Structure 1
Amino acid sequence: MTNNQPNYEYLNHIGEAVPKRKLVSKRFWDIIFGLVGFVISIPFIIIFGIIIKLTSKGPVFFKQERVGYMGKNFYVIKLRSMRNDAEAKTGAVWAQKNDPRVTSVGRFMRKTRIDELPQFWNVLKGDMSLVGPRPERPELTEKFYQKWPEFPQRLRIIPGITGYAQVNGGYDISPEEKCHLDNYYIEHYSFGFDTKIAFQTVKTMFTGDGAR
């Protein structure tokens, strides 16, 4: 959790957390497959790290504050897919299809989800799960809460590298649709559901369908 976290109103409207007994087995598989995923991803991170460095100015990795389980903030790690000055004038902006801020290499990484590979480290740390609602930024979470009061309810479970909304949406998905799909996932959470989403994600990496 980051220090000096603003007292956003959405923090008082998250709701009841998913029972811990349901999360024990989820954490077990996160550690096992998270470690495997982290080891496998290292060569891809190195290769695309070099490409990022050669094709655009700025750091290879991108750290950004996100809202985690039950409203606790953390820093998500990604391979940088946008220009280094992408939000210098606009501040936090919801990602969109054909985002002009994305570099040519970043567009490919997003389509194949390669930019998300460093988040296996977030999984091993316990900030994230392999499957769960994608974590959003505090500013956007507060903004969406004002329009869709149920939006903070997605924080009742640990956020994931991939999720039900990601494999069924993509860049065309709205915050309202994302909220609906994420809360559906939480209400119907099971190991089998996670497995299905994981397989759909692998398919997305090869086809690019629904990538976010």
Structure 2
Amino acid sequence: MSYIRFRKHYLHLPYVVLGLVEFGVLFAIFSLLALLLAPLGLAQLPTPPDLASALMFAVVMSAGTLAMGGYLAMVQETALSLFLRTLVAYCFIGGLGLTILYFLFPSADPGSTGLFWAVVLASLSVLLIRLVFQRVVDSEQVVRRVVIFGAGDLAASLLEEYQTNMRALGIRIIGCIADSPNRTVGDEQLIPPPGDFYRFCLRNEVSEIVIAQQERRSASGGWLPVPDLMECKLRGIAVTNGIDFYERELKKVKLDMVHPSWIVFSDGFKASRTRAFAKRLLDLTLSLFILLVACPFMILTALAVWAETGRPVLYSQNRVGMLGREFRIYKIRSMRLDAEKDGKARWASSKDDRITRVGAFIRNTRLDELPQIYNVIRGEMSIVGPRPERPEFVSELTEKIPFYDTRHYVKPGLMGWAQLKYPYGASVEDARHKLEYDLYYSKNHSLMMDLLIMIQTVEVILLGKGVR
């Protein structure tokens, strides 16, 4: 098994191991510096090393890597981009985080010299570990070999995702076994149906069979070799439904495979009063803290908007919230006053000429979203959840996209899983792709997943990802 499920969220085991190894190295580097530099008077490090200080250093630096999306991006990156991402994670995010903590806990401060060498050694050591990891994960000796049973649209879609995303996860799809004469997959990717499935898997070192059939009850529905698949599963070869494979590997729900019975019987989509209370308590605590910290930035942003385009500085729109209830959302205005002078709702587009110069900056940095803290305090939104959409768009999307209403069974949020995984949505097709991530969040959301989303949103803000 190459993954674990922690609090309903799937984690790939190689990356968990990598994270633990890096954490141990970071802890060891800080402790080693205490033994080497402190006796020479080159750093304010305690000897023997203080456990809490070393632990603080390792936690903050690891959080910096998570914040920059370092783990899942690294296999697809060049050595240069990996170096730059590590540098930003450690020198900027990690350094800033440690500076704030040392201000609050001065006894843990190793001094500027000690911190400098700790960050430098940590960056070099972790970069070396990641370069080795890239080669190991991509090695044919450790990859998971997968065969797809099915050769229709779903199998073709899975192959497309494999080329763009799954190879980085240590997966090799060796081909597809057609289940019917109606095929979408190319001949070069087809495998003749084996006479003995288990022997075929042994010969080709297949560790998993993914069932990606079209609807079997339709006219084009194909055959399913149940006895062969049972034998494979009972003898240690995983047999996985296509929708579960998508969810596990890509952290989204493939909409084309969703049917009502899957939602009803799946292990997820559970409402919990205890969790709702804990989430509300966390929302109030964080929103009040953010309001306190962000208040000066909101004032400066409001003054900049007023100086460029005058009043009003704020604007509001109706949005659809939990259980379909409409509420009024508040933002700092980033568009011209006549952005929708005809009263018709329009998607924002790339290089939208309605966006002002100040508006472009505050949209990139998400400063325009800060007034929504008020909506969080009122209980209309959460810190984490699917982004709320305008009623005009919801009516259209509900008609065109199956299961679109399911996203309204979770409270909308300031930040969300779909915002991390997919760029800004400006069409029905974009909304369809984002719903796949919203469904994954609705099914598997937990406080731990919310924390992960909060940390990773730092990369979205710093790099201006998904903005229009």
2:180 equivalent to 1:180: no
- Partner deviation per Cα, 1:64-88 (whole Å, 9 max, x = no partner): 1100111111111110011111111
Percent identity at matched positions? 38
Offset of residue 204 of structure 1: 1.6
Q: Which residue is 2:330 aligned to?
A: 77
SS of 2:399's partner is helix
Offset of residue 201 of structure 1: 1.2
Offset of residue 209 of structure 1: 1.9
Offset of residue 197 of structure 1: 0.8
Matches within 5 A, 1:103-118: 103-118=356-371
SS of 1:118's partner is helix
Q: CA RMSD in A?
A: 1.8
2:192 equivalent to 1:192: no
Q: Partners of 1:69 and 1:55 in 2: how far apart?
A: 36
Matches within 5 A, 1:122-137: 122-137=375-390
Q: Partners of 2:271 and 2:349 in 1: how far apart?
A: 30
2:408 equivalent to 1:155: yes
Q: Partners of 2:309 and 2:301 in 1: how far apart?
A: 12
Q: Partners of 1:29 and 1:113 in 2: how far apart?
A: 21
Choose the corresponding residue for 1:119, options 372, 378, 392.
372
| Higher-RCO chain (CA-CA 8 Å, sequence separation at least 6) | 1
Q: Partners of 1:177 and 1:21 in 2: how far apart?
A: 31
Contact between 1:130 and 1:162, CA under 8 Å: does it hold in 2? yes
Choose the corresponding residue for 1:40, options 282, 293, 306.
293
Q: Partners of 2:425 and 2:385 in 1: how far apart?
A: 19
- Partner deviation per Cα, 1:16-65 (whole Å, 9 max, x = no partner): 88343331111110010010011111111100100000101431111111
Comparing 16-25 with 29-38, greater Cα deviation is found at 16-25
Offset of residue 172 of structure 1: 5.4
Larger Rg: 2
Offset of residue 210 of structure 1: 2.9
Q: Which residue is 2:274 aligned to?
A: 21
Offset of residue 166 of structure 1: 1.1
- Partner deviation per Cα, 1:126-161 (whole Å, 9 max, x = no partner): 010000000001110001111003111111011001
Structure 2: segments with no counterpart, 5+ residues = 1-263
After TM superposition, the score normalised by the length of structure 2 is 0.41
Return closer, same or farther for 1:54/1:134 CA change in 2, 3 Å cut-off.
Answer: same
Choose the corresponding residue for 1:170, options 423, 431, 440.
423
Return closer, same or farther for 1:96/1:168 CA change in 2, 3 Å cut-off.
Answer: farther
Comparing 196-205 with 121-130, greater Cα deviation is found at 196-205
After TM superposition, the score normalised by the length of structure 1 is 0.87
Q: Partners of 1:34 and 1:97 in 2: how far apart?
A: 30
